[in-house]
Amino acid sequence: MAILSKIRDRSMFLILIVGLALFAFVLDPSSIQQFFSSTKVNSIGEINGDAIDREEFARQVEVYKTQSGGRATQMQAVNAVWNNVLSEKIFQSQLEKAGIVVGEKDIWEAMVALPDIQNSPLFKNEVNLFDEEKLKEYIANMKDEADAGNAQTWLNWLATEKSIKQNLERRAYSSLVTVGLGASLKEGERDFEFSNTKIDAKYVYIPYSSIPDSLGMVSKGKIQNYLEENSKRFKSEATRSLQYIKFDILPSEADNADVKKVVESFINDREEYSNAAKATVKIAGLKNTSNYEDFLNDNKSDLSIDNSYKFKNQISESISDDIFGASVGDVIGPYKNNGYYKISKIVETLKLPDSVKSSHIIVPFAGTTRSTSTKTRDEAKKTIDSIFRLVRYSKTKFAKIADEVNSDGTKGKGGDIGWVRKDQAFSAGFDKDFADFIYKNKAGSIKVVETAFGFHVIRIDEQTKLQKVVKLATFSRLIEASEETENTIFEQAETLASNLADGKRIGDLAKESDYKIKSALNLKVLEENVPGLNNQRQIVKWAFNSERELNDSKRFDVDVNGKRGYAVVVLNGKTEKDGLVLSSDILLKIRPELVNKKKAALIIEKMSGATLEEIAKNANTTVRSASLVTLASPLLSGVGNEPKIVGAMSTLKIDKVSDAIEGEKGVFVVMVTKREAATELENYNTFRNKIVGKVKARSYQLYNVLEEAADVKDNRSKFY
């Protein structure tokens, strides 16, 4: 009854909706279907009328990101998947038109021929030859596992099959197209003539650089007119340009002083009230503690314990003299280092080499790292002791037994581990017991050492010169902005954003507060990087919102390389797809052309006269000569590449002075004095084949042409 009551209450609203729907149906019945259809909403785009499902696309994006190991950003994954889908759809339509079908037999033969398949031990028989039946058995097992619920390996295999099929299809299509590319004998003859007809000429040349740039400047209006007259050349993608002011959340001087004071309080013992003991207790400071790992954990150091030994050059120069001048037990600091305040206690001093060369023989036992041995620990110890007695005084026996016993990368090398640097030896990836022996004993020492990998006979072969090292226990606290500092910076950003919303100009506000304005020019709709702010897809999406207008502004929270802050952004430039709005990129292309055209007009006024000599005299220059010039190599000595001028030389009448010709680097007046035709050949097949080779070599451009011709609707920017 309650539902019926609500329907009655909203009866006029329902009547209005139904009425509008019926009215739309009368006007266009298909509009009802479109109104309720979710096809458009769920489409990431269309390629030649074929919609791409948004959910399936999103699934592929997540798969791509997973396969990249998290290295691909969201937009990198989106763009990679889009390109794959686009390529697949475009080729698919062409394959259907061409009637190209790749069968299972073709795919199988291509798969069997793969080197990875041929050489895999999984598919070798008893005589170490590839066995096709073993491959079939392997595939059948994968399918059974997929049916049992473990589908990932099977899905990867299907993806490989799909990739092979696509490669075969595209290769077949490309081959068909390539077969159709060719050239006639007449084209071969013309190519021969281009390369071998030699031209001698005289000319007057005045470079554009002879006219000052100030005389060649053109107005923005003329540039805009030129842009419109050549619209096909300069149609552009949609872009947005931004100005922004960045506010970094950085600690103030007061924040620095507070952190320093806190760190300093951990040097000496302190008294604190303990709720557990119901009394004041004494807590050891770094100076008097002996369990350094517990001390750092209990007092919440921002950096964990570092048990490595440090040479002087491995410690910050600002503090290294103090540390190496101190004694064991001394505490140095507080000092600032890499964004932290620190105090360091000298725990140990030694003299160690920088690098050690050593050799080993290893006997692992059951349970040791990366071991498949079934030996017990006692059995392994007995074996290694026997080996030690044999090799202790003989390098020859050591090398021979190492090659027989070792199963690691030193096998075949006489057990030689090579040189190991101190930072490698005392890193997390190197065994501590092994490192301690080779660094804390002299060259020539040999001993049985137990490590996480088993028992070793280790021999120290060589060491570099001993140097003093220190081991430090360091308590650290990150220097961060306080809540008060953060609030102050936030208020500054909010005030700027509010003033911009009230219609004030960013340039004026920046001048008042001494802010630095940065620019991000011509951002494209699918970009994610904003210069100076890194990955800020949120800002690009905001700029391309259909409701966004010039001079709109907004404050954004940003994180640049782990450093938080705010960016107050103003939209100050828009161009739409295929629009003709003058952008900085287009201006860079157009302006030099128009400047040279204006300079050419000024130069041509000087180039008066009936002969080259008169023209040269009036232009205050000289007559130059060119000899043995060809169309294949249109170089003029002292000028450079001038294809337009040499092209004119190939058709001008002999001994006739040309009109002024605008070239790449200046204006020319030319007179051809001799044109030596190429010697006729009986057959031009060689030159035809050369043209065919060049044309076929460009078949890699096939996909670009197909993509350009395809009807593509890209909706990615609406969803990502």
Last residue of a domain, one of 676, 695, 712: 676
The answer to whether residue 24 scores a pLDDT higher than 90 is: no
CA 608, 613, 614, 617 torsion: positive or negative?
Answer: positive
For the chain, give the number of residues.
720
Q: CB-hemisphere CA count at 13 Å for 210?
A: 15
How far is Cα 626 from Cα 631, in angstroms, rounded to an integer? Answer: 13
Residue 267 located in a structural domain: yes
Residue 428 sits in a domain of what CATH number?
3.10.50.40
Residue 494 sits in a domain of what CATH number?
3.10.50
Residue 482, both tokens:
């306080």
The answer to whether residue 592 scores a pLDDT higher than 70 is: yes
User: Model confidence over 509-568: pLDDT tens digits?
Assistant: 999 999 999 999 889 999 999 999 999 999 999 999 989 999 999 999 999 988 999 999
Say if CB 248 and CB 516 are below 8 A apart.
no
Give the residue from 140, 108, 137, 109 showing the smallest Cα distance to 125: 137
How far is Cα 193 from Cα 677, in angstroms, rounded to an integer? Answer: 7
Q: Go through 467-479 and write b for each residue having 16 or more CB atoms within 10 A of its CB, e for each that does not.
A: eebbbbbbbbbeb
Residue 628, both tokens:
């043995």
Least confidently predicted of 124-133, 486-495, 624-633, 711-720: 124-133
Residue 142 located in a structural domain: yes
Domain hosting residue 425, numbered range: 354-464
How far is Cα 565 from Cα 558, in angstroms, rounded to an integer? Answer: 5
Measured from the Cβ of residue 38, the count of other Cβ atoms closer than 10 Å reads: 8
Please give the backbone phi and psi of residue 495, each rounded to the nearest 5 degrees, phi first.
-65, -45
Same domain, yes or no: 368 and 390: yes
Same domain, yes or no: 410 and 500: no
How far is Cα 297 from Cα 274, in angstroms, rounded to an integer? Answer: 18
CA 152, 157, 159, 160 torsion: positive or negative?
Answer: positive
Same domain, yes or no: 668 and 606: yes
How far is Cα 330 from Cα 346, in angstroms, rounded to an integer? Answer: 6
Look-up: residue for tokens 């004998």? 185
The single-letter code of the amino acid at 542 is: W
- Please report which helix (H) or strand (E) contains residue 574, including its range: strand 563-575
Same domain, yes or no: 600 and 624: yes
Q: CB-hemisphere CA count at 13 Å for 72?
A: 17
Same domain, yes or no: 310 and 358: no
The answer to whether residue 28 scores a pLDDT higher than 80 is: no
Same domain, yes or no: 366 and 335: no
Least confidently predicted of 78-82, 196-200, 587-591: 587-591
The whole-chain average pLDDT of the chain stands at: 86
The answer to whether residue 580 scores a pLDDT higher than 70 is: no
Taking residues 386-412, what's their average pLDDT?
A: 95
Cβ-in-10-Å burial (0-12, 13-18, 19+) of 299 comes to middle
Residue 701 located in a structural domain: no
How far is Cα 301 from Cα 297, in angstroms, rounded to an integer? Answer: 6
- Tell me the pLDDT band of 372, cut-offs 50, 70 and 90: confident
The single-letter code of the amino acid at 15 is: I
Say if CB 185 and CB 170 are below 8 A apart.
no
- Tell me the pLDDT band of 183, cut-offs 50, 70 and 90: confident
For 86, 92, 157, 174, the CA distances from 106, given in Å and listed in that order, are 24, 17, 16, 17
Cβ-in-10-Å burial (0-12, 13-18, 19+) of 616 comes to buried
Residue 470 located in a structural domain: no
The residue with greater pLDDT, 83 or 33, is: 83
Last residue of a domain, one of 307, 328, 351: 351
Provide Rg for the chain, Cα atoms.
Answer: 39
515 secondary structure, DSSP code: P
- Tell me the pLDDT band of 579, cut-offs 50, 70 and 90: low
CA 422, 427, 431, 433 torsion: positive or negative?
Answer: positive
Same domain, yes or no: 58 and 90: yes
Q: Is 687 left (phi over 0), alpha (psi -120 to 50) or beta?
A: alpha
- Tell me the pLDDT band of 236, cut-offs 50, 70 and 90: low
192 secondary structure, DSSP code: H
pLDDT of residue 474: 97
Residue 87, both tokens:
């390529």
Same domain, yes or no: 120 and 75: no
Say if CB 386 and CB 392 are below 8 A apart.
no
pLDDT of residue 17: 38
Please give the backbone phi and psi of residue 124, each rounded to the nearest 5 degrees, phi first.
-100, 145
Residue 571, both tokens:
């939209």
Q: CB-hemisphere CA count at 13 Å for 389?
A: 5
The residue with greater pLDDT, 194 or 223, is: 194
Same domain, yes or no: 76 and 52: yes
Residue 504 located in a structural domain: yes
Residue 46 located in a structural domain: yes
Say if CB 302 and CB 341 are below 8 A apart.
no
Q: What is the 3-state secondary structure (H, E, C) of 618-663?
A: HCCCCEEEEEEECCCCCEECCCEECHHHHHHHCCCCECCECCCEEC
Last residue of a domain, one of 296, 322, 351: 351
How far is Cα 693 from Cα 463, in angstroms, rounded to an integer? Answer: 61
Query: What percent of the chain stands above pLDDT 70?
Result: 91
Taking residues 395-407, what's their average pLDDT?
A: 95
- Tell me the pLDDT band of 296, cut-offs 50, 70 and 90: very high
How many domains would you assign to the chain?
6
Look-up: residue for tokens 């064991």? 328
Same domain, yes or no: 92 and 115: no
Residue 686 located in a structural domain: no
Please give the backbone phi and psi of residue 518, each rounded to the nearest 5 degrees, phi first.
-115, 155
Same domain, yes or no: 128 and 108: yes
Same domain, yes or no: 168 and 268: no
Residue 212 located in a structural domain: no
One-character DSSP codes across 249-296 = ----HHHHHHHHHHHHTTSS-EEEEETTTTEEEEE--TTT-S-HHHHH
